[in-house]
A and B are shown apart, each in its own frame.
Chain A
Amino acid sequence: MGVLDYFKPVETMTAEDVRAFLGSKKPDEYNLVDVRQPKEYERGHLPGARLIPVDDIPDRYKELDLNKPTIAY
């Protein structure tokens, strides 16, 4: 990931759009990432979401399949 990637526009989706998207796809067709802290994840998360706290993203983004759409919250 280069420095220019930080300036790429990121598309946002409403919760309703996300629900429709997740409902129409199989879980292995997208990356769903919870970027909050572990305690927040434990209290409740979208089913199947990977926990990658925002601070860990630079080290762990390679765990994601970058050829698939990624939804983060």
Chain B
Amino acid sequence: MSEFFSMGGHGAYVWSAYGITLAVLIVNVWLVRAKRRSALQRAKALATQDEVPRKQPTVRRLQ
């Protein structure tokens, strides 16, 4: 087992490369979620405002 983690003496390089890659993926997921949350919050705040809604352009539904 310790042989596996030592990676023939290159363990520090291999494991930190995989660890940093995993961390980058996690950070990306977290950043997207944070952006999504703040965007939805703002949209909901807009939607619940009682002001007269702005005039919407007329849209034709795509078939």
Partners in one complex: no
- Using a CB–CB cutoff of 8 Å, the interface residues on chain A facing chain B are none
